[in-house]
A and B are shown apart, each in its own frame.
Chain A
Amino acid sequence: MSTLTALRDVTFERNLSLRKLKGKLFEIIAFFAILLGIAMLLTLLIDVFLDGLPWISTKLITEFPSRFPDKAGLRSALQGSVWLMVLTAVMAIPIGVGAGIYLEEFAPQNRITRFIEINVANLAGVPSIIYGLLGLGLFVRQLGLGRTLIAGAMTMALLVLPIIIVTTREAIRAVPQSIRQAALALGATDWEVSRDHVLVYSAPAIMTGIILAMSRAIGETAPLITIGALTYIAFDPKGPFDIFTVLPIQIFNWVSLPNPDFHGLAAAGIIILLAVLLSMNALAIWLRNRLQIRW
């Protein structure tokens, strides 16, 4: 009896150390995985900041692009980006959230719904340049909107719609069925259930999806180049029907110039773009947390 336990203890001990080793090994691999990601990000950020910081100044925001690096700024591109974001959000959010609610709460489970679902999921993976070509053909040429902000925003809205729809659906699906049943049992209509319960519970997660979508839109370049926003613009856009340029495109333009000073300016432009992106995200996160605390 005692020999048997001793024997078992020996194998257990041996196995235990092996198991512990395996655990340690996995931990190390996982640690390096995250280290790799962070190291990449840090390298990029440090590189950009080293190149760009000397060029950061208020001129970058107040001046139009120029052939003199020390006089050049992002004024028109920054305004273009803000205009584009606002217009895109105004179009994409109501439609995207609405579509998500319909698909999740109201749509009958049949072939057409499934067909739409598969399409939406696939659209989220379509390369952005394809949306640019669609925007060029449909909005710029067919609808005759020209190479304007509104055409750009409509293209961007199409681009981010699938993301918003998919995340809205995920968020709504996470709301427990019992909440709906409880509300229905008390005599609420489908509309009241969605409006007063489902939407409210899922709002924080929906906001996250919207943040992701808008972050993608602000950094996109390819579709806007396709619809013709690769342009030197030295005036303020006057409204949605004006021609425009955006931050990533101005950066792209500066990088391609021969004078290395413009490459420094491009790096500074990237810092500004990061700042805009992060403040947008911060705003959205603050909004989300506000909603969350209330609940």
Chain B
Amino acid sequence: MLNKVRPLFFVLVVLGLILSACAPATTPTETTQTEKIVEKTVIQTQVVEVEKIITPTAGPVEGTILVDGSSTVAPITQAVAEEFQKVYPEVRVPVGISGTGGGFKKFCNGETDISDASRPIKPSEVELCQKNGIEYIELPVAFDGLAVMVNPSNNFAACLTVEELKKIWAPEAEGVITNWSQVREGFPNQPLTLYGAGTDSGTYDYFTAAIVGEEGSSRGDFLPSEDDNVLVQGIAGDPNALGFFGLAYYEENQDKLKLVAIDNGDGNCVLPDLTTVSQGTYQPLSRPLFIYVNRARVDQKDEISLFIDFYLKNAGQLSKEVGYIPLTDEIYQLAQKRYDNRVTGSIFEGQGSTIGVSLADLLAKE
């Protein structure tokens, strides 16, 4: 009996050893494409570049385009990737989600080809890219409205001014502004609980820049979550709640939340919707979303240009489908021109979140 078991055990162990020994040796042949990409992210090899130049553009295009970055932009890029891969099945476009900041870290390390960003690149990131010799082309792809929301049972806060929001969210408000009656005279004596996007997100960066006036600066005693669905649940279940997050999440939960109109100091209360966000009247909480393309990779990988053309042609339709607001055709054309001319750098001059600017004006200036 012993002898019957022994061989089985040995076969298993030997099989295991053989497999583990063979795995790295046999596979590279199957996966040369990814191997190349992986190597390239580590050491920017010249060999790959030469190979790519020799390879003619004609014939079926194949390759891998590595995208990573903002979770806000990811649904748009994923939708574009999904459609793109239907047209070019040999081009693989994985889209990672590691946040705008995390995405730029990888992008400026040369680990990715394209970075999704829900705010313009920051000075510290510009520096990192410069240090590593990475040049980038910045392209706007859609608008996102940041929605300010309260519980449906709240019938007094239909419209808030930017001043009032600043009073609520400023760092000085921590532990001080804790009741709705402190926000505006006439609001009921009712505690105020706050919900907001997590501090690692571009959404938080943009909101604080737009409302508090300084990116990344706010009171600390609010309930943060990187998962907007958690915020939806929180606000929907708390009559005292006030919170902010991307408009896409409001659209799916209209019955559970109440949208607050924003008064940008001119007495007009504006609700975020397709028109007000894309025309820029919903201020200061409508923001453009971007992709950043590694300039050097554009020459190394022909498939990137195909992808970007496809992206800018379809972003309008696809961004609407996943809950964002398309840019105007004019801006998409300006972005395409910017790409065709390979204009590098940021139209925001590396200042990070910039509030209340017209993309068309900035792009036309170039």
Contacts and interface: CB of A to CB of B under 8 A. Distances in A.
Specify whether A and B are partners.
yes
B228 A256 contact: yes
B94 A233 contact: yes
B24 A150 contact: yes
Given A150-B24, A232-B81, A199 B31 contact: no
Interface of A: 64-67, 87, 89-91, 93-94, 144-148, 150, 195-197, 199-200, 203, 228, 230-235, 238-243, 253, 255-260, 263, 291, 294-295
A240 B27 contact: yes
Given A90-B20, A256-B227, A258-B251, A241 B94 contact: no
B31 to A, nearest CB: 4
Contact of B35 (A230, A231, A241, A291): A241
Nearest to A91: B20
A146 B41 contact: yes
Contacts of A66: 82
Given A67-B75, A241-B31, A241-B34, A90 B23 contact: yes
Interface string B328-356: 00000000000000000000000000000
Contacts of B5: 200, 203, 291, 294-295
A294 B85 contact: no
Contacts of A235: 85, 92, 94
A196 B10 CA distance: 11
Interface string B19-61: 1100110011011001101110111000000000000000000
A232 B78 contact: yes
A197 B34 CA distance: 46
A104 B31 CA distance: 41
A259 B85 CA distance: 23
5 contacts: A90-B16, A197-B2, A231-B96, A234-B93, A241-B28
A257 B71 CA distance: 10
Nearest to B321: A67
Given A67-B75, A90-B20, 15 more contacts: A66-B82, A67-B79, A67-B82, A67-B318, A90-B23, A94-B16, A146-B38, A230-B97, A232-B81, A232-B94, A234-B81, A234-B92, A234-B93, A241-B34, A241-B38
A239 B207 CA distance: 43
Contact of B6 (A148, A196, A258): A196
Contacts of B31: 238-239, 241-242
Contacts of A255: 227, 229
Contact of A231 (B1, B75, B97): B97
Q: Classify chain B's interface size.
A: 35 or more
B34 A242 contact: yes
Contacts, number: 122
B98 A144 contact: no
A87 B23 contact: yes
Contacts of A87: 23
Nearest to B30: A239
B322 interface: yes
A203 B107 CA distance: 49
Interface in B82-110: 82, 85, 92-98
Nearest to A259: B252
B75 A196 contact: no
Contacts of B16: 89-90, 93-94
Contacts of B74: 232
Interface of B: 1-2, 4-6, 8-9, 13, 16-17, 19-20, 23-24, 27-28, 30-31, 34-35, 37-39, 41-43, 68, 71, 74-75, 78-79, 81-82, 85, 92-98, 227-229, 246, 248-249, 251-253, 318, 321-323
A211 B6 CA distance: 20
A89 B93 CA distance: 29
Contacts of B253: 258
A141 B112 CA distance: 14
A145 B37 CA distance: 11
Contacts of A239: 27, 30-31
Contacts of A295: 1, 5
Contacts of B4: 294
B20 A94 contact: yes
A196 to B, nearest CB: 6
A142 to B, nearest CB: 10
A253 B321 contact: no
A150 B23 contact: yes
A101 to B, nearest CB: 11
Contacts of A259: 252, 323
B97 A243 contact: no
Contacts of B82: 64, 66-67, 234
A5 B28 CA distance: 89
Contacts of A260: 252
A243 B34 contact: yes
A91 B227 CA distance: 35
Contacts of B2: 196-197, 200
Nearest to A66: B82
Nearest to B74: A232
Nearest to A71: B82
B308 to A, nearest CB: 18
Contacts of B92: 234-235
A256 B28 contact: no
Nearest to A226: B98
Contacts of A233: 94
Contacts of B318: 67
A260 B81 CA distance: 22
Nearest to B91: A235
Contact of B229 (A147, A195, A231, A256): A256
Given A67-B322, A90-B19, A146-B42, A258 B248 contact: yes
A242 B36 CA distance: 11
B9 A203 contact: yes
Contacts of A146: 37-38, 41-42
B247 to A, nearest CB: 10
A200 B98 CA distance: 47
Given A230-B97, A238-B30, A291-B5, A67 B85 contact: no
